[in-house]
Amino acid sequence: MNSTIESNPLLDRLPQHLRQFIKPQDYSDYTPINQAVWRYVMRKNVAYLSKVAHSSYLEGLKKTGIEVDNIPSMYGMNRILTEIGWAAVAVDGFIPPNAFMEFQAYNVLVIASDIRQLEHIEYTPAPDIIHEGAGHAPIIANPEYAEYLRRFGEIGCKALSSHKDYEMYEAIRLLSIVKEAEDTPQATIDAAEKAVENLQNNMGELSEMAQIRNLHWWTVEYGLIGTVEDPKIYGAGLLSSIGESAHCMTPDVSKIRYDISAATQNFDITKLQPQLYVTPTFAYLNLVLEEFANKMALRTGGLSGTKKLIDSNALGTIELSTGLQISGVFSSVIEFEGKPIYIQTTGKTALAYREKELVGHGILTHPEGFGSPIGKLQGINLAIEDMSPKDLNAYNILESKTVKLEFEGGITVEGEIITGSRNLQGEIIIIRFKNCTVTHGETILFQPEWGIYDMAVGKKVISVFSGAADVNSFDLRSHLPSSKTIKAKHSAERDNLEILYQTVRNSRETNDTGTPLAPIFENLKSNHPNDWLLAVEIIELLNDRNETQLLQEIMAYLEKLKESRPEISKLITNGLELIFEKESVS
């Protein structure tokens, strides 16, 4: 199949910094064993989830065109998803949380296109196409839930991070990779688990991103819906895990009514969840999301939000009451009576209004930082932004005039005004000076030798959020993860096993009753003694053909395999139940 990326109108809207995470889905990479793993999980899930999942799940499978017998093609999915206003892209494992959520804000579902090994068929800590395609995609066919997902992405990508959040992301990504990879030394896995555990125990105060990531986990990934006494599954992590979807319905897992307290409940991706949250409706998810968003710096702004952004040491934006948006890495704030009175960035900075960069105020104009006072002038109740032309004239704030502006808290700006810029409401948002000196007491914040001084105008900080106001202001195409997923190894033994799987698959798909199955089983028994799934698939064909003698022989073989490998006993039993339950139903 084509390994290029097919686009559509939704994907065409994506900014360049998100496109860097997209990779082609080369369908030819999926092997016959991969297809068998997909089919086993999907058949088991559909059979079980029809009883315990929210009704949107089975309806969504049909609407999104996801088949039980075949790994979905991203391009086929996209053509169908477009009809419900969504699209899907393939990525390489976990991507950074901000990027993941920003994709959602654009109505784009991120799908890790790799697929778990047979050894991890029940559960894998790594995101894969079973988790994403069979877990997330069906539920977004529900319009109410899809809007929650989009809105969550829109708000979540603005959440402020701490410097430890990215460390945690990298540690979890590495752990998921080494646990999923073949033949990883146990010492390597232990070290990766220890790194995650150490970070989990030493995160300090949870950042906005850490908290909203918790909300995402307990809803989008591991959410239940209905009542505490009779919940149904809608979270993708549960929908895609044949082990945990059954475990979560047992009394061993505590069920808690979902509320905003879930934001502070951390999780461990390497273990079964000890508790799950139950939302009464999909609409209620949005109520909790809005409750959380009301506490975010995105909506509260102020000194607290400014300090959080400085602590993150990451690209972010401060929006003033005039609507002027300052984007950069903020390094310091001067405060007075609990309010920010001067903010400073370090390095490339851009100014914007309503998410559009102002002409002449990009990173080329402000390559080394930007600083500005915030607030009202000393002794004047009227803020500059609220002044009429008559007021501006009275205070000598006019072009070509030399003026001394003294702000509350002791910030002084003195220089010759060159010009001013206004927003759509006519409020002044920038005043440009030459021969300008800016001071705070004895501290010089700007001096004439540094060139033109652009002063932002705004009486208060109304919003603080992660990322740039205008995503095109900065080159963000270098934020790729440091680790790469590890592909399955090729060997003569593995290639031979793949051929056996393909032969059985061809026989089933073409309904070819002439394919001799005894030699395939003998080859399997002699050369691949640890494999169990192919034996189950052969039994399915034999049962359809009524070839009881060989069927009984393979059943006995599987019974011995269950005794020697108890860890796969349940998987074999589940596979056989699918075959013989189907027979009893028909």
Determine contact, residues 172/217, Cβ cutoff 8 Å: no
Question: Is residue 388 packed enough to be buried (19+ CB in 10 Å), middle (13-18) or exposed (0-12)?
Answer: exposed
Boundary-marking domain end, from 415, 449, 466: 466
Would you tell me how many other CB atoms lie within 10 Å of the CB of residue 205?
Answer: 9
Boundary-marking domain end, from 266, 291, 316: 291
**What was the pLDDT predicted at 128?**
85
Closest CA to 372 of 304, 450, 430: 430
Residue 22 located in a structural domain: yes
Closest CA to 146 of 188, 99, 96, 108: 108
Place of tokens 């540094």: 450
> Which two structure tokens, joined as six digits, stand for 63?
């609407």
Indicate whether 75 and 184 sit together in one domain: yes
Indicate whether 152 and 238 sit together in one domain: yes
Boundary-marking domain end, from 466, 501, 527: 466
**What was the pLDDT predicted at 6?**
65
Alpha carbon 44 to chain centroid, angstroms: 27
Indicate whether 28 and 56 sit together in one domain: yes
Indicate whether 277 and 400 sit together in one domain: no
Decide which of 357 and 194 is more confident. Answer: 357
**What was the pLDDT predicted at 586?**
39
CATH number at residue 233: 1.10.800.10
Residue 130 located in a structural domain: yes
User: Looking at the predicted structure, is the pLDDT value of residue 2 above 50?
Assistant: no
Digit-coded pLDDT (tens) for 251-307: 999 999 999 999 999 887 777 889 999 999 999 999 999 999 999 999 999 999 999
For 493-506, the three-class secondary structure string (H helix, E strand, C coil) is HHHHHHHHHHHHHH
136 is in an annotated binding site: yes
Closest CA to 126 of 171, 176, 59: 176
Q: Each residue of 551-575: b (16+ CB within 10 Å) or e?
A: beebeebbeebbeeeeebbebbebb
Say which amino acid occupies 390.
K
Beta strands of 122-200 (E only): which ranges? none
Indicate whether 445 and 498 sit together in one domain: no
| 3-class secondary-structure state, position 215 | helix
Residue 483 located in a structural domain: no
Indicate whether 116 and 222 sit together in one domain: yes
Give mean pLDDT, residues 458-472: 96
Place of tokens 């059985």: 504
Indicate whether 128 and 152 sit together in one domain: yes
Residue 477 located in a structural domain: no
In the chain, how many domains are there?
3
Q: pTM of whole model > 0.75?
A: yes
Alpha-carbon span 450 to 453, nearest angstrom:
8
Determine contact, residues 35/215, Cβ cutoff 8 Å: no
Alpha-carbon span 256 to 279, nearest angstrom:
9
440 is in an annotated binding site: no
Place of tokens 């990934």: 221
**What was the pLDDT predicted at 269?**
75
Indicate whether 114 and 242 sit together in one domain: yes
Residue 487 located in a structural domain: no
Question: Is residue 379 packed enough to be buried (19+ CB in 10 Å), middle (13-18) or exposed (0-12)?
Answer: exposed
Residue 179 located in a structural domain: yes
163 is in an annotated binding site: no
pLDDT band at 78 (very low <50, low <70, confident <90, very high): confident
User: Looking at the predicted structure, is the pLDDT value of residue 125 above 80?
Assistant: no
Determine contact, residues 342/445, Cβ cutoff 8 Å: yes
pLDDT band at 585 (very low <50, low <70, confident <90, very high): very low
Alpha-carbon span 579 to 586, nearest angstrom:
11
Q: Helix-strand-coil percent breakdown of the chain, rounded to 5?
A: 45, 20, 35
Indicate whether 398 and 309 sit together in one domain: yes
Residue 521 located in a structural domain: yes
Alpha-carbon span 349 to 337, nearest angstrom:
27
- Candidate from 60-74, 307-321, 403-417 with smallest mean pLDDT: 60-74
Residue 471 located in a structural domain: no
User: Looking at the predicted structure, is the pLDDT value of residue 3 above 60?
Assistant: no
Name the residue range of residue 269's domain: 9-291
Place of tokens 């074999």: 572
Alpha-carbon span 413 to 403, nearest angstrom:
8
Residues 6+ apart with CB under 8 A from 556: none
> Which two structure tokens, joined as six digits, stand for 115?
């697929």
Indicate whether 192 and 304 sit together in one domain: no
Indicate whether 397 and 534 sit together in one domain: no
Determine contact, residues 341/306, Cβ cutoff 8 Å: no
Digit-coded pLDDT (tens) for 382-415: 999 999 999 999 999 999 999 999 999 999 999 9
Long-range CB pairs of 470-475 (<8 Å, 24+ gap) are: 470/325, 470/327, 470/350, 470/352, 470/355, 470/356, 470/357, 471/15, 471/17, 472/15, 472/16, 472/357, 473/327, 473/350, 473/352, 473/357, 473/362, 473/363, 474/315, 474/327, 474/348, 474/350, 474/363, 475/17
Alpha-carbon span 110 to 541, nearest angstrom:
36
Determine contact, residues 127/173, Cβ cutoff 8 Å: no
Indicate whether 178 and 241 sit together in one domain: yes
The half-sphere exposure of 34 on its side-chain side, counting CA atoms within 13 A, is: 18
